[in-house]
Chains A and B, each alone.
Chain A
Amino acid sequence: MGTYVLRRTLFAIPTLIIISLIIFAILDLAPGDPTNQLPLTLPDEVKERIREALGVNDPFLVKWLKWMRLMFINEPLNLIDSIFGTCIGDCENRDRIISWSSRAPAVDIIYQRLPQTLWVLGLAFILGTLIAIPVGVISAYKQYSAFDNIGTFVTMIGFSVPTFFTGLICILVFSVWLGWFPSFYDGSYVVDWSSWESIWFQIKQMIMPVAVLTLFNTAALSRFTRASMLDNLNEDYVRTARSKGLRENKVITKHVMRNSMIPVVTLIALSIPGIFAGAIITEQIFRVNGLGALLITAIGQGDVPMVQTLTFIFAFLIVVFNLVADVTYGLLDPRIRYD
């Protein structure tokens, strides 16, 4: 197992380098100029000097290598420094990836936005998983029961009604008519964990986006769990287990579920990068200015460094969680050994 993880990790490095090259090449080919945002009154030669200073005119390969140095060396070093309070090398004057629009380090802005994204999307993901798996398991075990029918009905709604619709309905009912919850998420709010009032405010502003996303996440995952459970429930080994006289409880949890979870875990693991990528539509409706909203504004403003950094971080997370999914297979199914 250990060698397998090591091998996969090493293999991830060239993958990431190729991804970075593709991202960089696509964005480099895209039209856009950092001086577009500057006033039209600036003379052309000044704009040219600004472009020069930003390194826009360098050859492609030089630009890519410079960017790689920032992305793979400087930014990780900076992250380590800020976490452990250390100072590796010349930490005062270290070059950073600077956003063209806000003129601040791109990674710092991403870090600032992370809490909102994780609060809302992370919570919706956890709740979705916690609800979906039991619902899927029970629905499959009691197939065609009232529980299964109701569960199917609700999950089909969650699956087929888009979040921009459920979101607006929620705002209409709970904000406009009832006035219970705020219609937008205040990212500047700092929760005071010692005050119930403050915690309650945070819950109130999170509840609608979290509920909408949870419904959506639950729907997909519970359908998947149910289908996987149904496949396994009719297998011979289940009959064998029952005929051995194992308690039904044990049969389901120890045998059927364990086998059924393999595809479900893949789905969960591969969805985790999606938490960070943000739910662009839901974020827009509830004005949660998370990473999805950040990416959209950056694209709109032609802020190439920010788009590069964000897409690369998403790519990195996808590679990492692919690895996590593969490793989890091994844990769930002892027959799978990669060594």
Chain B
Amino acid sequence: MKRTRLLALLAVIAMIIAACGGGDSDSTTTTADDGGQGETTTTAVDTTEPTDPPAGGGAGEGGDLVILQWQAPSQVNTMLSSGTKDFFAGSIVLEPLAEIDPVGNLVPALAAEIPTVENGGVAEDFTSITWTLKEGVLWSDGTPFTADDVLFSYEYCSDELTGCQADFSTISEVVVVDDHTVTFNFTNPKPYPYDDFVTGLEPVIQRAQFQDCIGEQASACTEQNFHPVGTGPYMVTDISPEDFVSYEMNPNYRGIPEGKPSFGTVTIQGGGDAESTARSVLEIGEADYAWNLQVAPEILGPMEAAGNGVVVTSFTANVEHINLNQTDPRGDPPSEFPSQHPVLYNNPEFSRALSLAIDRDSLVAVGYGPTGVPTCTMWPVGDQASTNNDWCLTRNVDEANSILDGLGYTDSDGDGIREHPTFGPLVFDFVTSTNAVRQSNQDIIKANWEEIGIGTNMSNQDASLFFDGTSASDFSIWKFFADMEMFTNGATLPDPAAYLFSWTQGEIPTAALGWPASGNVPRMQSDEYDATWEELSQTAPGSEGYNDLVIQLQDQMAANGTIIPLIHRGNVSAIAANIEGLGEPNGWDSEYWIIEEWHRVDG
């Protein structure tokens, strides 16, 4: 019997050895050290103050950086990425022509400068843009990067069978002027011409590597998609899809003479969930960065108190807001002009009272924690944000009550709810998607409004029906068969003209159009707003008066009162306390957009 037991065990052991042996021999690199203890490497020559910026140590001498992405990358070719997880993994290898900084400004990456109308890079009629590329940029295989690679990247994605997520459909032609100049001609004039090859989502890939991977062949190019040749600070050494990606410094990176990047190796480690990765960085201090931490504030707070790391939030234009239906959901046909909502249509004073009564700080404390800040505008982006309506930040129930009294909405029957002369009791249907945060916020808003004599019937709908762009269900936000709706809107590019266009009258969804998923969900009607937008669309971004127009639009929107902005929502990440050089967290581009600046400080 001893023999049989031994046999069984031997079989198991043999399998283990076979499997592990195979795993080891595949791999020739050693990447991870003990997870961020900052051990000195044998090559490090510490000649300067450790607190100096990256120049303090040579490039690649800063040891290992461990990033935790609980959703691990499935591949590294950003062009084929199926989500943020892949986009981020690709962004430290591949580079676009220009990146976008945390406040929405363009920063040249592979481009030498940002083309504008003033410097002649953008045509006066907005029909083309000419990018001048940096000289002397090398791919990680040592060959020079040229304008031809930009042309190829365009061709690669233009074949729809490639399955590219980048959208170059507004380009009619890419013209290579010379090795370092490339022109995009547009099918229609584009006043905001910076949406092609801008941000890490639309990087340039190498023709030499991907020329046989166009169209149907794209999926078969596993090796290329796992180890893309890039111009960025790192290159992939090893990848196990949905598990980890290991990188080492790109030896041909142009920043090396300046000592960038500091970290010699980077590991993106997947698995677990948001809470456990947050614990690793904040509470245990065994990793350097944790991404996308949708964790309840009461859990994240004590973790951060351990002192190993800090929570950072990146913002874009995502704003949780309440839409007041301008059309009558009880009309025939419902929620369509010419029927107007008896109370809410063009009633800015009433909207102001509703807004003043809401305790935005409580909404944040209960539902968002570090991921949200109260806001009073739909475009809270850098210096384009209007601060003229910040009265909404301070809750003022007395003022709200006096506004309602002034409007003649009084509680005549003493049931605590005010009555409208024609509408009757001011009780509204208020709908949002099914989501713990939104329901807790509904409770607060309901209580807040009861204080000013406004009643609500709170309900929620499954997100898959509520946000279904085909409007197959009557619960879709575009049909809006309710008085009020709460959800979040956002923009993918810091292009206010494209975003604010959503609330012009042409964007009102109607049954005749088949309830398209267009932007003007609350059916805002403002000729003044439309005229200002028209003016903005003729103005080049960055030119004089541009930001004033953007602010003017927000103020007109606020004066109209159709939309009540609530919370500016961001994405939360955690970073080890001893890592410096991140700058402001970036929501517009990859969070690792300046990973070459990151470095570890001792102590």
Contact = CB atoms under 8 A, between A and B. Distances in A.
A49 B218 CA distance: 14
B375 interface: no
A104 B23 contact: no
A202 to B, nearest CB: 11
Interface string A169-193: 0010001100100111111111110
Interface string B3-33: 0110011011101100110111001011110
Interface size class, chain A: 35 or more
B12 A189 contact: no
A287 interface: yes
A203 to B, nearest CB: 12
A10 interface: no
A331 B1 CA distance: 8
Interface stretch (B280-288, B340-348, B438-446, B478-486): B280-288
Contacts of A287: 269-272, 276
Interface stretch (A69-77, A95-103, A150-158): A95-103
B12 A122 contact: yes
B592 to A, nearest CB: 17
A38 B225 CA distance: 16
A182 B31 contact: no
Contact of B32 (A189, A268, A328): A189
A285 B272 contact: yes
A242 to B, nearest CB: 19
Interface size class, chain B: 35 or more
A113 interface: yes
A42 B80 CA distance: 13
B24 A183 contact: no
Contact of B222 (A104, A112, A129): A104
Interface in A227-257: 253-254, 257
A286 B284 CA distance: 14
A271 to B, nearest CB: 10
B242 A294 contact: yes
B307 interface: no
A183 B276 contact: yes
B1 A191 contact: no
A201 interface: yes
A115 B19 contact: yes
B273 interface: yes
Given A99-B241, A289-B72, A188 B267 contact: yes
A293 B272 CA distance: 9
A99 B226 CA distance: 14
Contacts of A29: none
B196 to A, nearest CB: 14
A184 B272 contact: yes
Nearest to B272: A287
A39 B165 contact: yes
A270 interface: no
Interface string B232-245: 00000010111110
Given A112-B23, A114-B19, A183-B280, A37 B243 contact: no
A289 B216 contact: no
Contacts of A220: none
Nearest to B163: A38
B276 A285 contact: yes
Interface string A81-118: 00000000000000000110111110001011111001
A337 interface: no
A43 interface: yes
Interface string A49-85: 1100100000000000000000000000000000000
B21 to A, nearest CB: 9
Contacts of A311: none
A103 B75 contact: yes
A190 B4 contact: no
A103 B221 CA distance: 8
Interface string A257-292: 110010001001100100100000001111111000
A176 B160 contact: no
A81 B271 CA distance: 31
Contacts of A171: 279
A41 interface: yes
B75 A42 contact: no
B4 A125 contact: no
Contacts of A284: 271-273
A297 interface: yes
Contacts of A25: none
B246 A188 contact: yes
Contact of A183 (B29, B270, B284): B284
B435 interface: no
B203 to A, nearest CB: 16
A183 B66 CA distance: 14
A115 B20 contact: yes
A126 B1 contact: no
B8 A109 contact: no
Contacts of B280: 183-184
Contacts of B19: 114-115, 118
B31 A104 contact: no
A53 B242 CA distance: 25
A187 B27 CA distance: 12
Nearest to A260: B1
A119 interface: yes
A258 B3 CA distance: 11
Nearest to B77: A103
A51 to B, nearest CB: 11
Contacts of A269: 8
B238 A261 contact: no
A111 to B, nearest CB: 7
Given A268-B8, A331-B4, 14 more contacts: A39-B167, A101-B82, A101-B241, A102-B75, A133-B5, A183-B286, A186-B32, A186-B244, A186-B269, A187-B240, A187-B269, A191-B24, A332-B1, A332-B4
6 contacts: A50-B163, A109-B241, A175-B284, A176-B283, A182-B286, A285-B272
| The 6 A-B residue pairs with the shortest CB-CB distance in the complex, in nearest-first order | A102-B241, A287-B271, A115-B23, A287-B272, A289-B243, A102-B74
